[in-house]
Structure 1
Amino acid sequence: MNVIGKILPIDGYNVVMDKQPPLDFNASLTHLYQPLIGIQAISLYYTLFYEVGHVQKVQTHHTLMTYLNLTLDDIYRARIKLEAIGLLKTYKRTEDGRDYYTYNVQCPYSPNQFFREAMLSQLLLHHIGELKYNELYSRYVKDSHLYGEEVTADFNEVFDTITPSLPVAENVKTKRQCTEKDSMDFSWIEQTLKQRFIPAERILNSANKKLIHQMKVLYDIESVDIEKALLWALDEDNKLNQEEFKSACHDMFISRNNGQSIRLKEKITANTEVIMKKPETKEEQLIQELETISPKQLLEDLSDGNHASEQDIKVVREVMTRQGLPAPVMNVLIHYVLLQSNMKLSKAYMETIAGHWSRVGLKSAKEAMSFAKQEQEKYKSAKNKPRKNNNYNYNNSYKKEVVPDWFNNRKKKQPVNTGLSEKEQQEIEAKLQKYLNES
């Protein structure tokens, strides 16, 4: 990640905090957060935290460099780690040609809350190992089973949402809500559960949806694999065992990444201008769409916004599951098959192509689109060649490359050593010919 020049020593900053942290926040920072984001980020957090309410005037980032004995690039790296983990919010304004930052320090989770956050707790487990994790868990988490079975009501069980009266409120969503709802197609999972006569409303409550989304983000696994993990983790009463679900997601990650463990690391990004470049051609627009939408949404879009048929969804799910194709590649396959089959979704045709694409190892919509074009060009070229020439060339090349010498020579007459002289051999052949003529 390019961090050079993101902030300057003369840039000003001030620090605010909206609420007080929990009493045991120090334990959270040192034992739970620090293994994930490192000591430099934690040092920056403490420095900013103890400036809240004590330093009123705007300071420069040179002050932070002095306090922390870090370069400005290291301070920036530490800052964005705090932002990413949820410990800091940053605001920027420009006045008189100079940049000013407001750092809003966020409260860390208490240890008990931290272990209840599936994504954070799973990350900690992978970073420090199971032995140390269990030690910290037993130290900080109170056993809720001592209180009895939890019967706390879920939000959706008690309340119904209503359409807001103020038009402006319709577009108001928090960043977390947008991320969780928009990036996960729960209707796809819901249909799978209903087809198996499993009560979807019991499994897809708000807590489980949050967990499902977090595991998808953490392990970067496809919706098809999420589906498998979900079905694996259901108990005999069709309730989701969250720990089993986490383990199943982790096992899938390990199997797909050759045993590599999961750890937080900084992203290595290309030039921002290239990443943010808008598609210029219709093909680029199509590829971008196929990279981001779900197969179900694609089927609906191709049906002029109508609901995709359950039969089509079932076909797509079975092919996608059996061949292990990523969603973007599956989208290209759907689009290709519909165009080639007069907008009919032929399962046999789709499975044939899917098997080929799976063996090739296509991972993105762009790769799949390019590969489909290449195959189409090969087909057209072969079709346009005269068949006679094709057969001739094929037979000759096959004969030269495959057929062994002994096979080619098997019909040639070989001299046989009979022990007779040439004159005697001629006499025998003459008698044989005379016999054939008389008979």
Structure 2
Amino acid sequence: MKPNTSFSFLKNNYLAPTGASFTHLYGPILGVQASQLYTFLLSLYDQGKEKRLIAVILNHLDLGFAHFLESLDRLIAMNLLEVYETEEGLQFRFVPPLEANQFFANVAYQKLLEKKIGEAAVRDLLPEKPEGEKRKVNFASVFGIDGVSTHQKKTSSFSLEHFKQLMARDGLRFENEQEDLLVLYAITEEKNWTWYETYLLAKETAANLIISTKRMRQKLTQQPQEKGKDEFTPQERAIIREAKNKSSLQFLAGIKKARKAVVTQSERQVISDLAQLGLLDEVINVILLLTFNKVASANLNEKYALKVGNDFAYEGIKTAEEAVLKIRQRQDSHTQKAKEKATKSGQATGKTNVPKWSQPNYTNQTSQEEQADLEQQKRALLEKLNQGGE
């Protein structure tokens, strides 16, 4: 797509100019430029009779091409516009804005609007719920057509009400409800899941009963481990198995119990901090074991654990297998560096306790004058010894 790309509209796709629903509900989310673009495209509608260049839009709205693309993507993401690319150019199809009750039934839309204008302002926009009993009329009985139903109830793939019910049952809570719900909705849409499938992942990756969308993303990006059994030693396989089968708190409690100690509050906080980095329990467990193996202590070296955790988060370690391999790689690197340092140190100093003159190939290179001087010093020392060291 370029500024000189042509575009046209689909026939019989006329929409009325934007009204209050678009202005109050969509406008804050879209922003000024995307809203202006949508309104301008509506004003150009001509039943697809004419082809125009994108440059016309850029010129009229005083938009740069990059800003135009960003605004176009916003309209597509909010399901207000569909764009079809053909060999001859682009075709635009308008999608009408949702009514208020449909708009607020979409969790993501409501939370995005709350981010823009605040919860109090959104509450003022919520449609009033009707009272009394709704009058029902059967379509077939009115029009005399049997076996036909026109009722089409729209259902959302993400049910916030049911999601929160299960959270209350399991004692889970949000860290930041507004931000978390946007990610949960996005995951549901990306994976084409039901709200319940998303909840199961949220529950599995929760840290301290707090839903962690970072850990959910980490779990989703885990790759199947294709390493053969020979890749790991029996001890490493046992570590991986235990790391995967226990929560971080259970794993830590097991280590502490073996050392006749109990988990401290500061150690609990370290686990929480590691989870905040987005690390999964199986990775945290490997870090805990590594840290305890560094020192002979019943207490966790908290600073070291956090240091390793920061490195693992930066390096994108997502599984216990990856963590074990990374630790092995580090140990091998340290061992190699130590050997190289020792070799270089030995070559540079060449220190030894064996005197040079005892070597089989030793050659005395002392000059005659030096030998005469040494003899004189030797005689003077002997005379001094014979006189009692005076």
- TM interval, shorter chain, is 0.3 to 0.5
TM-score of the superposed pair, with normalisation by structure 2:
0.47
Q: Which has the higher contact order (CA 8 A, sep 6+)?
A: 1
TM-score of the superposed pair, with normalisation by structure 1:
0.42
Give the greater-gyration-radius structure (CA).
Answer: 2
